[in-house]
Amino acid sequence: MASNGQAEKVAEVEENVGDNGDTVTPWDVQSKSDKGIDYDKLIERFGCQRISDDLIQRIEKVIGQPVHPLLKRGIFFSHRDLEFILAQKEAGKPFYLYTGRGPSSESMHLGHLIPFVFTKWLQDAFDVPLVIQLTDDEKFLWKNLTIKETMKLAKENAKDIIACGFDLNKTFIFSNFRYIGQSPEFYQNIQLVAKNVTFNQAKGCFGFTESDSIGKIHFPSIEAAPSFSSSFPFIFGEDSNIPCLIPCAIDQDPFFRMTRDVAPRVGLHKPALIHSVFFPALQGAQSKMSASDETSAIFLTDTPEQIRTKITKYAFSGGQSTAEAQREKGANCEIDVTYQYLRFFYDDDEKLQEIKKVCTSAYL
């Protein structure tokens, strides 16, 4: 398999906290710096690769169109084996997209949209099948929620996700609590992964402790399994081995670092990845938006009036250390949350440049 050459960091050691105090796990993202996560250090620690301008040009050549602003602007900034996926496409060979969501609140917030907006674009640009996993079981294992409550959240979130406009004929969206009970092949792949990961390895990737439930400790194999096309025999046929590309925020990387360690040992393709940075909370880039903190996020169900209030009241803006410096130098767009939100969602490059110019000018 072409994708198996690269050395992975599937550690026997604790690596979910970096030297610089940045913590990045699927359940906890924290930085001790007010600039937020140091992504260069994170890339090095995780062992993935920054997306270069050359790679972006190669993508544009393969798909025959410009890349999405989320990629152009470096919001999707890191990858594993993206070249392999491009080579598949160039050779006319199939691949598929896999992304997902842990449904922890009835309404999704803006940050949750990023992978789906980008995945929708990838699906259109490459014309490939897509599977979307809703990890209601994960939320059940981690939160104080019943199974029925998490299944309801998955259903609610599915509506928001469907609204992103995926290709109806090429998209399968599923809840684990429903689909695992409908597909022997999916369960078999879950156990295929679970057999090949030790508690020590899971501890190294995810920071589990001996007080964690055996459900949590086993869960990574459930997020891993959709990386293998044979989990979806009705889409890809039985015993298929079609590679996949996973667009996700970089906090999900540990799941797939683990998966990539297992895949060659069981004769399957390693999943390729394309990672985004975190969408900043209203309070600033130190942490990612959290659905469990109402004031940290703009929800898809918020009214325009509520959004206006949240931006005015909570959005961290400016960034100079004194009001005077702010007036003199203007805002620092690198950390100004309102500007950052535009950078994520406002497609018009020219206008965005203008806005940046205005914001970073002295207020004179």
Point out which residues bind a second copy (CB under 8 A): 137, 140-141, 147, 177-178, 180-188, 191-200, 202-203, 208-215, 217-218, 220-221
Least distance CB 234 / a second copy (angstroms):
12
Tally the residues of the chain: 364
Nearer to a second copy, 144 or 321 (CB): 144
User: Residues 301-311, buried b or exposed e (16+ Cβ, 10 A)?
Assistant: ebeeeeeeebe
Contact of 257 with 9, CB cutoff 8 Å: yes
Both tokens assigned to 101: 């969501």
Least distance CB 141 / a second copy (angstroms):
5
Contact of 31 with 61, CB cutoff 8 Å: no
Task: State the CB neighbour count (10 A cutoff) for residue 126.
Answer: 20
Least distance CB 189 / a second copy (angstroms):
9
Least distance CB 143 / a second copy (angstroms):
10
Task: State the CB neighbour count (10 A cutoff) for residue 15.
Answer: 20
Residue 80 to residue 271: CA distance in whole angstroms: 8
Nearer to a second copy, 136 or 336 (CB): 136
Contact of 249 with 116, CB cutoff 8 Å: no
Contact of 229 with 241, CB cutoff 8 Å: yes
Least distance CB 85 / a second copy (angstroms):
27
Backbone angles phi, psi at 146, to 5 degrees: -85, 165
Burial of 17 (0-12, 13-18, 19+ CB in 10 A): middle
Least distance CB 301 / a second copy (angstroms):
28
Least distance CB 48 / a second copy (angstroms):
23
Nearest Cα neighbor of 101 from 128, 137, 68 is 137
Nearer to a second copy, 78 or 201 (CB): 201
Nearer to a second copy, 186 or 279 (CB): 186
Q: How far is residue 41 CA from its own chain's centroid?
A: 18
Least distance CB 115 / a second copy (angstroms):
25
Nearer to a second copy, 198 or 303 (CB): 198
Backbone angles phi, psi at 101, to 5 degrees: -160, 140
Nearer to a second copy, 194 or 263 (CB): 194
Least distance CB 105 / a second copy (angstroms):
19
Nearer to a second copy, 5 or 181 (CB): 181
Both tokens assigned to 241: 């081995």
Task: State the CB neighbour count (10 A cutoff) for residue 10.
Answer: 18
Nearer to a second copy, 180 or 300 (CB): 180
Both tokens assigned to 168: 């109806």
Nearest Cα neighbor of 176 from 244, 112, 111, 226 is 226
Nearer to a second copy, 54 or 210 (CB): 210
